[in-house]
């Protein structure tokens, strides 16, 4: 591939990017879209564009970019929470590292590569891309120290930036913990693996255990019930009500009692069309006697203070580690109820099974990747499919196929990955939706690193032979041979996926459902360190191939110090992202006590974790409140506060 092909690819991407940004700029001005783009702001201030036929509405403008550019961390923090800030910090960090790397590579490395060999240079736009890579530098060249220097500068600046980011994000996280208003999840512990006893119900066991061992801090608890049964009852009730609603006008508002015998499994024998009585039947008559049988060995236990909850969550409770397993409860709207009824003994087995499944999926995914790889080697392709020869002879098509198509196909295939990983993570038995998504995200991350990078790089030699590395010591050299050879693919991949898909992300509006307090930063940090070390190992291999012992020698301590830096950050910062410090929690508890907000919290606690809050008093909205179990509900978390919940089964 030569520079023209690269420029074609870049051109297409820039065009798409500009079109998408303009479209966004126009769309965001339409009042009808206001509720999409400014949901959070709408509550506080009214929409500006009131004139329906203003020309301004149809002209793309760039002023919003300026406004976004000027937004400080504090602004974002106020609007989007810590997670939004952390996300922005990631973007800013990436841009900074990219700028540093670009500057160094353009002014230091590129000239060295270009004049690396005594050769007649063509006109620059007809030059092959290979001339600009390190592959063009002579073996044993003394100029390789520039590459080593560039590696040092990039690694050091990345580490310094990472350090300050980690420091400020840790600070932000602590401020977030301290400043966050009391939430039921702070005071609640999820208990699983409650031992079965023939004499007591699970509820009695929980009551007994916690009032014995935590007499000072235990408040009350809330059992988890078998999903399915009650759930179906509720669904039926809802369906029924909607049916009756449509029948009602025909009946002329006569108070006709409807008989609906049989049909659904959990159907009602006789019903009148008063929603109120449906509810009372469901909650009082139908459930109370069988309630004990439907209890699952899991419960939410409420404590008097945050500190007591954290301690109960961290300590090993019983001498059998599979019983009385505690962890801090997820937020009420974040609970993944159907997974709560999974016996705790199964969870570890499920995790292993899921891991195996994910690995198998990764291996199966090699098929499309190999196909994509084939596209970049055009000669092979036209050899395999002779009918393509005619098309591929056209110069423009050639550019398109080699420069653009491979990565587009890869991206399309990659769209299949997230749903699969979500499925795996649901099977894994995570107790909260955010945890499930987090687990899926990590899986996708590993998947991407494995598939896009390693497999693409090594596919030529690897997949056919299944011998990944011919020796442990040869890894850097193997990578060093393979990576520069695939440099053109990655250049196009970054150009097409980077620009087009990033600007696609703009037509999306993300509603932040969970506030993790920047808990995903350590993942970003680790991935960055991993990339750095990988780069350094590849460089080591390249220096080895180019026979530059000095450059290789200088790279080894760099790898060592990068790993050491990572270890330092792991020691210094990461515990705060895993556990809340006692000092902070105790101070918060004392503040609550001083301000007298504690009573309010207790009242909230008793109703926060309700498994079946979906029927609201006004049943005409029943169609809007989606089912709470199986899919992500779109409803506001606020609707789960006690004010809106009238159907509480266990009070």
- As measured in angstroms, the least distance from the Cβ of 477 to a second copy is 12
- As measured in angstroms, the least distance from the Cβ of 332 to a second copy is 25
- As measured in angstroms, the least distance from the Cβ of 202 to a second copy is 17
- As measured in angstroms, the least distance from the Cβ of 610 to a second copy is 28
Site for a second copy in 384-413 (CB under 8 A): none
Burial tier of 545 (Cβ tally within 10 Å: 0-12, 13-18, 19+): middle
Q: Are 308 and 217 in contact (CB under 8 A)?
A: yes
- As measured in angstroms, the least distance from the Cβ of 385 to a second copy is 32
Query: Which residue(s) pair with 245 in the sheet?
Result: none
Question: Which letter does DSSP use for residue 70 in this model?
Answer: H
- As measured in angstroms, the least distance from the Cβ of 295 to a second copy is 22
Among the listed ranges 72-80, 244-252, 570-578, 591-599, the one in contact with a second copy (CB under 8 A) is 570-578
Among the listed ranges 37-45, 82-90, 461-469, 551-559, the one in contact with a second copy (CB under 8 A) is 461-469
571 binds a second copy (CB under 8 A): yes
- As measured in angstroms, the least distance from the Cβ of 176 to a second copy is 12
Task: Compare residues 185 and 317 and give the one whose CB is closer to a second copy.
Answer: 317
∠382-387-390 over CA atoms, to 5°? 80
Burial tier of 158 (Cβ tally within 10 Å: 0-12, 13-18, 19+): buried
Among the listed ranges 83-91, 219-227, 526-534, 562-570, the one in contact with a second copy (CB under 8 A) is 562-570
Task: Compare residues 253 and 473 and give the one whose CB is closer to a second copy.
Answer: 473
* Mask for 173-192, x = binds a second copy (CB under 8 A): -x------------------
Q: Are 270 and 315 in contact (CB under 8 A)?
A: no
Task: Compare residues 317 and 456 and give the one whose CB is closer to a second copy.
Answer: 317
Query: Which residue(s) pair with 303 in the sheet?
Result: 218
| Count of all residues that appear for the chain in the document | 651
Task: Compare residues 29 and 221 and give the one whose CB is closer to a second copy.
Answer: 221
Size of the site for a second copy (CB under 8 A): 41
Listed in sequence order, the residues at least 6 apart from 533 whose beta carbon sits closer than 8 Å to its beta carbon are 559, 562, 563
568 binds a second copy (CB under 8 A): yes
User: Helix, strand, or coil here: 140?
Assistant: coil
Between CA 234 and CA 229 the distance in angstroms is: 9
Query: Measured between alpha carbons, how far is residue 74 from residues 82, 178, 373, 419, 485 in Å?
Result: 10, 16, 45, 34, 45
475 binds a second copy (CB under 8 A): no
- As measured in angstroms, the least distance from the Cβ of 433 to a second copy is 24
55 binds a second copy (CB under 8 A): no
Task: Compare residues 72 and 583 and give the one whose CB is closer to a second copy.
Answer: 583
- As measured in angstroms, the least distance from the Cβ of 562 to a second copy is 13
625: left (phi over 0), alpha (psi -120 to 50) or beta: beta
Alpha carbons within 13 A on the beta-carbon side of 521: 35
Write out the H or E segment, with its range, that includes residue 361.
helix 344-364
User: Helix, strand, or coil here: 298?
Assistant: strand
Question: Which letter does DSSP use for residue 320 in this model?
Answer: S
Write out the E strands in 180-236: 188-192, 218-225
Task: Compare residues 581 and 637 and give the one whose CB is closer to a second copy.
Answer: 581
With CB under 8 A as the contact rule, the residue among 37, 469, 554, 602 that binds a second copy is: 469
94 binds a second copy (CB under 8 A): no
67 binds a second copy (CB under 8 A): no
- As measured in angstroms, the least distance from the Cβ of 491 to a second copy is 30
Between CA 136 and CA 121 the distance in angstroms is: 12
Between CA 560 and CA 553 the distance in angstroms is: 12
Phi, psi of 609 (to 5 degrees): -95, 80
Among the listed ranges 58-66, 130-138, 316-324, 524-532, the one in contact with a second copy (CB under 8 A) is 316-324
Task: Compare residues 126 and 360 and give the one whose CB is closer to a second copy.
Answer: 360
Between CA 182 and CA 222 the distance in angstroms is: 19
With CB under 8 A as the contact rule, the residue among 229, 338, 474, 506 that binds a second copy is: 474
First to last CA, the chain: 71
* Mask for 285-314, x = binds a second copy (CB under 8 A): -------------------------xx--x
Return the structure tokens found at 347: 């969870």
- As measured in angstroms, the least distance from the Cβ of 534 to a second copy is 18
With CB under 8 A as the contact rule, the residue among 63, 265, 471, 624 that binds a second copy is: 471
Q: Provide the binding-site residues for a second copy, judged by CB under 8 A.
A: 174, 213, 310-311, 314-322, 324, 348, 352, 466-474, 564, 567-568, 571-576, 579-584, 586
């Amino acid at each position: 591939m030569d520079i023209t092909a690269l420029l074609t690819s870049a051109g297409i991407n820039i065009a798409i990017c500009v079109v998408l940004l303009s479209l966004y700029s126009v769309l965001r001005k339409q009042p009808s879209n206001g509720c999409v783009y400014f949901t959070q702001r709408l509550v506080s201030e009214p929409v500006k564009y009131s004139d329906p036929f203003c020309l301004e509405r149809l002209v793309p403008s760039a002023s919003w970019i300026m406004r976004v550019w000027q937004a400080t961390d504090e602004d974002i923090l106020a609007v989007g929470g810590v997670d939004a800030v952390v996300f922005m910090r990631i973007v800013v960090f990436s841009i900074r590292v990219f700028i540093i790397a670009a500057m160094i590579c353009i002014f230091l490395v590129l000239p060295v590569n270009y004049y690396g060999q005594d050769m007649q240079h063509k006109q620059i736009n007809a030059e092959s891309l290979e001339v600009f890579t390190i592959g063009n530098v002579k073996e044993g060249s003394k100029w390789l120290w520039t590459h080593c220097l560039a590696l040092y500068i990039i690694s050091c600046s990345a580490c310094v930036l990472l350090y300050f980011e980690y420091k400020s994000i840790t600070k932000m996280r602590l401020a977030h913990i301290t400043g966050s208003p009391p939430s039921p999840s702070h005071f609640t512990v999820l208990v699983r693996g409650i031992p079965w006893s023939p004499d007591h119900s699970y509820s009695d066991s929980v009551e007994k255990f916690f009032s014995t061992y935590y007499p000072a801090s235990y408040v009350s608890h809330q059992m988890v019930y078998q999903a399915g049964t009650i759930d179906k009852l509720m669904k039926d009730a809802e369906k029924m009500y909607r049916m009756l609603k449509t029948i009602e006008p025909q009946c002329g508002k006569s108070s006709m009692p409807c008989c609906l015998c049989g049909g659904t499994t959990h159907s009602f024998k006789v019903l009148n069309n008063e929603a109120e009585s449906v509810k009372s039947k469901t909650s009082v008559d139908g459930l109370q006697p069988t309630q004990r049988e439907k209890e699952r060995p899991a419960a939410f236990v409420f404590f008097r203070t945050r500190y007591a909850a954290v301690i109960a969550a961290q300590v090993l409770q019983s001498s059998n580690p599979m019983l009385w397993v505690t962890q801090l409860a997820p937020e009420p709207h974040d609970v993944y109820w159907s997974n709560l009824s999974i016996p705790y003994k199964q969870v570890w087995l499920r995790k292993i099974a899921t891991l195996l499944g994910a690995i198998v999926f990764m291996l199966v995914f090699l098929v499309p990747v190999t196909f994509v790889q084939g596209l970049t080697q055009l000669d092979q392709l036209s050899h395999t499919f002779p009918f393509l020869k005619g098309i591929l002879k056209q110069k423009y098509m050639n550019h398109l196929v080699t420069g653009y198509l491979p990565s587009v196909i890869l991206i399309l295939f990659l769209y299949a990955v997230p749903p699969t990983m979500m499925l795996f993570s649901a099977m894994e038995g995570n107790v909260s939706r955010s945890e499930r998504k987090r687990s899926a995200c990590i899986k996708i991350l590993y998947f991407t690193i494995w598939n896009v990078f390693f497999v693409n790089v090594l596919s030529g030699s690897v997949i056919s032979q299944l011998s990944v590395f011919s020796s442990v010591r040869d890894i850097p050299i193997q990578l060093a041979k393979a990576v520069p050879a695939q440099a053109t693919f990655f250049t196009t991949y970054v150009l097409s996926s980077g620009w087009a898909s990033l600007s696609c992300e703009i037509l999306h509006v993300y509603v932040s459902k969970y506030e993790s307090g920047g808990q995903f930063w350590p993942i970003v940090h680790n991935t960055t360190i991993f990339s750095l070390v990988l780069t350094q190992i590849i460089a080591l291999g390249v220096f080895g191939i180019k026979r530059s012992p000095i450059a290789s020698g200088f790279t080894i301590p760099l790898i060592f110090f990068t790993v050491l830096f990572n270890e330092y950050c792991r020691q210094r910062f990461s515990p705060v992202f895993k556990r809340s410090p006692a000092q902070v929690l105790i101070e918060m508890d004392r503040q609550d006590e001083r301000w007298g907000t504690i009573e309010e919290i207790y009242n909230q606690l008793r109703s926060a974790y309700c498994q079946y809050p979906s029927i609201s008093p006004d049943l005409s909205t029943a169609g809007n409140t989606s089912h709470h179990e199986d899919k992500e509900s779109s409803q506001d978390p606020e609707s789960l506060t006690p004010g809106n919940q009238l159907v509480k089964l266990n009070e």
